[in-house]
Amino acid sequence: MKRITLLGIVIATIFTFLFTSCNQINKAKMEKSKGITRSSFGTAGGKEVFLYTLINSKGTEVKITNFGGIVTSWISADKNGKNSSIVLGYDSLSGYLATHPYFGAIVGRYGNRIAKGKFLIDSIEYTLAINNGPNHLHGGVVGFDKAVWEPTVENDSVPSLLLSYLSKDGEEGYPGNLNVDVHYTLTDEDELKIEYSATTDKKTVVNLTNHSYFNLTGDVTNTILDHELQIDADHFTAVDSTLIPTGEITPVKGTPYDFTQPTKVGLRIDSVKGGYDHNYVFNKIDASLTKVASVSEQKSGRVLEVFTTEPGVQFYTGNFLDGTLKTSDGKAIQQHAALCLETQHFPDSPNEPTFPTTLLLPGQKFHSITVYKLSVIK
């Protein structure tokens, strides 16, 4: 009887050891899989470029390169468990070195348009590059989207990547040496948090945003016309024929621009000449981090919520995509293959005194946060 009892104890001890070991190994694998990794992505301007993969506990992956601070992919599972990227991007640096419409990039020093590329600070006129019809767009010919940023990996409780860049006085015509930091963080709640900060040694204007193109189906051959969009904005900034604001803050009620209730993007797009490319003025009255928009897509079950401290968002429906560009696997990127929700201050604010100011002074700190939160409804 004692021998049987002793044998049982030995067997139980071995089983407990094996069970504990397996749990520790599995836990180690999970901890190893969550975090951030780096791989070579080529060179640009004689500088080495890297691709960083941020992975959370759910297995969601966001890839970011320090060339332009570009979000190259955001891979997650849909309601059927199929993994695909919800943003447009390329697998190699060559796609970004060629001409593309700011796919996934940080844009600045001034995101969006400035009329005729001119503005005044203290009666001094500054002249910027003209790169969008008669106007200046997204920082100029060589904006932040084409800069090689200095990367710092921060991988404590959640994977985070800090990108830093010095925009020198006179770059693209802007005054002041501007030190810029952009933090990308991927949380376990499938939130991509983007935190911007900047300081200057001379009065300048700043308007930073991310230009990701979203398609929640994960397949660029599908358009976003069936995506349902809601924006918490009762007004938008009316524009002229060159997409420069007229200065008028226009109500959306009774117009094709009304997305105060969930509405399919394609429902009234034919009534908007050229498609949507407009700045929406949020109803929120302060700079707190607030939910301002949401997009959903029925077949994938994906929902994307947008939170920001900014006063507006540029809603753009990929109007200028025409099939010329192709994905890394050869699929043509057609018109309306994706949409953008670029949180921002308003276009041409330096020339519109009634708009929220984009002026940054020495001793001040520009600070802005935007969060894109992804979820799935089955």
Q: Please report which confidence band the pLDDT of residue 12 belongs to, taking 50, 70 and 90 as the band edges.
A: very low
Q: Please report which confidence band the pLDDT of residue 174 belongs to, taking 50, 70 and 90 as the band edges.
A: very high
Q: Please report which confidence band the pLDDT of residue 312 belongs to, taking 50, 70 and 90 as the band edges.
A: very high
Q: Which two tokens stand for residue 38?
A: 């780096």
Per-residue pLDDT at 14 exceeds 60? no
Q: Which residues pair with 314 in a beta bridge?
A: 279, 342
Q: Please report which confidence band the pLDDT of residue 161 belongs to, taking 50, 70 and 90 as the band edges.
A: very high
Residue type at 141?
Answer: V
Per-residue pLDDT at 10 exceeds 50? no
What is the pTM assigned to this prediction? 0.90
Q: Exposed, middle or buried by CB within 10 Å (0-12, 13-18, 19+), for 163?
A: buried
Region 159-168: mean pLDDT is 97
The pLDDT tens digits of the residues spanning 29-62 come to 333 457 999 999 999 999 999 999 999 999 999 9
Question: Quick one: which of 235, 157, 172, 207 has its CA closest to 346?
Answer: 207
The pLDDT tens digits of the residues spanning 336-366 come to 999 999 999 999 999 999 999 999 999 999 9
- Tally of CB atoms within 10 A around 371: 20
Residues designated catalytic: 211, 342
Residue 122: alpha-carbon gap to chain centroid: 33
Residue 368: alpha-carbon gap to chain centroid: 13
Q: Which two tokens stand for residue 246?
A: 């007229």
Per-residue pLDDT at 370 exceeds 80? yes
Per-residue pLDDT at 374 exceeds 90? yes
Task: Supply the pLDDT for residue 316.
Answer: 98
Determine the Cα–Cα distance for residues 266 and 261; give it in Å rounded to an integer.
14
> Can you tell me whether residue 64 is helix, strand or coil?
strand
Per-residue pLDDT at 335 exceeds 50? yes
Per-residue pLDDT at 185 exceeds 60? yes
> Can you tell me whether residue 324 is helix, strand or coil?
coil
Per-residue pLDDT at 4 exceeds 80? no
